[in-house]
Structure 1
């Protein structure tokens, strides 16, 4: 009696069709095309009686071989116009007639295009004047206008080249930004290549691609424009800019060259490329003291000392090099002291937050959220692991045990707004929030990476201090760097190593539920806490044995 009420075997959720899923493919395009080709070949000998089948086979290909079907109609027009008309009627029945009209034009067959257009509902006044205009044109001009009408720009460009109308080709290239194709066509025609390159350089400059524009102008020996583009491109093109400035005819004035060199040197200083700035001051401006200052700022003390002696300015050893060493020592000491203080403050705080999370996970993750008074009976608050409490926490927050639904577009907008708000809150990592630990861990990681990147500079500083007979300062800098490196190593061991017992735990399966809005940000955070952190690499300082440390 109740046989029809039995439920069938549950299907996998991924196998169930949805309203958004596309229909199942009936066959791969390769198989469809193979069958169509075989059918066309078999019916070719009986074309008279199977004309519609052959046309249908062409159209059924993937993508449809409309040109082949239209070429068949074109052949029939020469043999039997009545049969050709029937063939056109059939292909227009299968395919949109406007699409067929465009394809017929693309075959440069005006009679065929006219025959197809007559099958449409279009007013003849819409297409007859255009077809008549094309018919009156020479072959190459007709092909150009057809390809331009069909927006086949590259083919149209080739027709203009064949017509040998370079001025029109240049204007067409500029209008449709066909510079690459035009340059390829005239790569061996030097005068026309230069004209195209000049137009392309102007286009690059207008689209803010100043480095490439400068290169194009430089290839044309337009050094004034090249200098302007290289200068606008920024400090990375300082060498090219100085070269093109020196090549200008008539030459730039000494004041203009000095102003350009100073501007480039200032830009390089701001970009922290102190070695390049020193090169400009030394070679283009002859300012040895500024060059030494730049080198010392970049911790290139050996180069600074060498240049001072090479240029016979030993007085700069005291006034410039020693001053630069003192400034570098002060900057380094201040930086390392700040790093040391930050580690002392942040590492214990991370340990404290982790201890609180382990002791009472639910209270820790609840944070400042409202509605924390009523705890349902079916929620586990056991602190077995960082991830095991995530499902119950999000059940608590969302009020649902497995899925999250929406009630319309308004809910979706509110969900997105809440998510953005929560992402900003996570990025700030304000003290007292659940995101504080993640913020501190990332801060410690960045600090260790900065300290490791500073190690080579400190080594050069210590070496230069010894060379300038300042061993006590060298020992102090070396000792402080070693102390900070040891603190970084200890921080890596404490912050980035998994706690005991968690390393042997199997990986938790991803939850079948998915939170939305701000809760999704918190979910991602909680699940991420259960994953092993990749520790940063601490670069140890290579100490000088001469200092006895």
Structure 2
């Protein structure tokens, strides 16, 4: 123990750190405490003076074994020889013992190098050092001395503890790095996964030494492999039951099974035991599994195995056993083969709902549920989930997931039903209904579940917001409708003038008058849209997708475009259709506003909506004129005259491509739908 003098070492020593309090040297280690309340344990054999200075000045990382925090004012007293304990004196004068990680790991490495596995194991267990270090320190040495390892440990519980802690990680490169150790020294000479190598090696040795004594350890070695060998473990349990061991240190079949249930999930173990077709292995709780097992026992052996394989989703095996059941099951063979295969094809073709129906029909409930959920077929999904049946908490979680998808699709009423009836969450259901403007259904649930507080906190404010949104929307649609209607009148007037100018240039009495009828049929598309005609020749060679895109561009609302009048009529139809479909929505909102005495907003909404409907109704004859509806007589013929041809040109309806003929039909408004409230002025 060497105290400091004014923050430095006495000469002729070179100063390493001016901030240390006490230090001592033990074997190859320099241990010292600092004013920052840290205890450093540095290996002198691997560090130079500069390395020591760097280690003392740098901050420790998470896995740095050389540094640990100590109590403020702690001073080093001594290190227990041939041990891992460091004695510190506290400021209060009492002595305390700590196990510095660097000393512990150094001692463990010495013990492992000396094949003292028991000392190393007990120290690691006591100080919570990862047991993987026993193998990772030197895999080759460990595998060559497994029998010595077992004889020294000599505890079934300790061996099982070691096996259960195994993982695919080299702790000498992650948790417990050793600077003096080469990177290749911890690599096993055998290929394969570390956990499998250790489990197989230990099991082989234990089966050679005493399989009865190490029975539980052997089971652990099967279960802990990267691909658990549950069927083999169950078979060993079955052998114990058929041929009970007679030794004093032997394990009974019941004890072995109980231990397996501790290691493995009971449902997973049940399925593996069922997959062996050996009912003696299925030693589970009869309350849960006995009815199904009794049903299986009544079946013919091949059909019994088919039923088990189908239950476990092992379809190849199921088909193999079903094919041995005779001609009477031929239809079932076809159903199993075709239904499952075709269902998989339907899923790939984005027809998940139909795939779910097929899978449900052939008993593949879990896969049917997955298919229904993927396409938001929520009714079928919840029906299958109830049929399976899913535990209540999983059913509620499924309902919430479906409700979330339905809300994203703006199917609020359906989402509310999922939340109310399956997730048992009335508050979220009411919230979904309010969000979807389903005011009456929201009120029903509010009073059904006695949640009148939601009226004040959510419902009334949502009603006023809905009124504001509807009013703004109606104003925007009214302005847009008037603008398009006025522009359509201007466009029609311009096209009429263009037709007259065309006739004024040559007149219908010229020698080529008979050609005007043919020219008139392409007047709008050729004379007024010659620019488009030239470009259309380039479009014709494009792909069908590009042609459809170009076709849509023809109906542009841009002023002066060839088919602007058609685009305007199409836009007017869309506005009329959208506004007319609002009758039920406005009616529902008006009733809710009146119920909660928002008479002023309700009256203004009813007035604005009525005025807009009236405006549209009045404008229909102006937009869709009688000539536009009835068409026109042939431009040419034996009974046609120059005056009749001239008149037909002046009254000709716009040249409409085949894709735009629907705009010539007057949209039907649903005047029979009663939406007004007579109690409002």
Provide the TM-score with structure 1 as the length reference: 0.51
- Rg larger in 1 or in 2? 2
CA distance in 1, matches of 2:419, 2:547: 52
CA drift of 1:283 comes to: 1.5
For 1:394 and 1:451, the matched residues in 2 are separated by 32
2:454 pairs with 1:316: yes
Equivalent residue number for residue 319 of structure 2 = none
Q: Distance in 1 between matches of 2:660 and 2:518?
A: 7
- Does residue 345 (structure 1) correspond to residue 483 (structure 2)? The answer is yes
Q: Contact 2:524/2:655 (CA < 8 Å) preserved in 1?
A: no
**SS across alignment from 1:545:** coil
Residues 90-139 of structure 1: CA deviation (Å, up to 9, x unaligned): xxxxxxxxxxxxxxxxxxxxxxxxxxxxxxxxxxxxxxxxxxxxxxxxxx
Distance in structure 2 (CA, Å) of the matches to 1:190 and 1:292: 46
| Among 376, 385, 389, the residue aligned to 1:245 | 385
Q: How does 1:302-451 map to 2 (within 5 A)?
A: 302-361=440-499, 389-391=520-522, 415-416=540-541, 423-451=551-579
Per the alignment, residue 678 of structure 2 pairs with: 545
Between the aligned partners of 2:362 and 2:447, the Cα distance in structure 1 is 42
SS in 2 for 1:525: coil
Q: Distance in 1 between matches of 2:571 and 2:524?
A: 27
Report the CA distance between 1:192 and its aligned residue. 5.8
CA separation in 1, counterparts of 2:663 and 2:342?
Answer: 52
The residue that corresponds to 1:162 in the other structure is none
Bigger drift between 439-448 and 485-494 goes to: 485-494
Return the match for 1:267 from 405, 420, 435: 405
- State the distance in 1 between where 2:464 and 2:573 align: 29
Q: Partners of 1:529 and 1:386 in 2: how far apart?
A: 22
Separation (CA, whole Å) in 2 of partners of 1:398 and 1:464: 52
> The residue matched to 1:337 in structure 2 has which SS?
helix
- The Cα shift of 1:362 comes to 7.5
RMSD: 4.4
Q: Indicate the larger mover: 343-352 or 532-541.
A: 532-541
Alpha-carbon distance between aligned partners in 2 of 1:386 and 1:265, rounded to the nearest angstrom: 62
Instruction: Please give the alpha-carbon distance, in whole angstroms, between the structure 2 residues aligned to 1:528 and 1:230.
Output: 37
- Please name the residue that 2:346 is paired with: 204
- Give the Cα–Cα distance (whole angstroms) in 2 for the partners of residues 198 and 528 of structure 1: 43
Q: TM-score, normalised to structure 2's length?
A: 0.42
Aligned partners of 1:531 and 1:204: how far apart in 2?
36
The answer (yes or no) to whether the contact 1:204–1:212 under 8 Å persists in 2 is yes
Q: What is the deviation of 1:190?
A: 4.1
2:538, 2:404 → 1: CA distance? Answer: 48
Q: Are residues 1:282 and 2:282 paired?
A: no
Contact 1:226 1:244 (C-alpha < 8 Å) held by counterparts: yes
1:83-232 equivalences in 2 (<5 Å): 189-190=331-332, 193-232=335-374
Residues in 2 aligned to 1:262 and 1:492: alpha-carbon distance in whole angstroms: 47
Q: Which structure has the higher relative contact order (CA within 8 Å, separation 6+)?
A: 1
Shift in Å at residue 244 of structure 1?
1.6
- 1:106 aligned partner: none
1:231 Cα offset (Å): 0.9
Q: Mapping of 1:398-547 within 5 angstroms?
A: 415-416=540-541, 423-498=551-626, 505-508=632-635, 525=656, 533-540=664-671, 542-547=675-680
Counterpart-to-counterpart distance in 1, 2:420 and 2:346:
33
* Gap regions ≥5 residues in structure 2: 1-305, 307-315, 317-326, 638-653
Higher helix share: 1
Name the CA distance, whole Å, in 2 between partners of 1:186 and 1:499: 72
How many aligned residue pairs are there? 330
Contact in 1 for aligned 2:403/2:418 (Cα 8 Å): yes
Q: Is the 8 A contact 1:266 1:277 kept in 2?
A: yes
Partner SS, residue 316 of structure 1: helix
Change beyond 3 A, Cα 1:531–1:455: closer
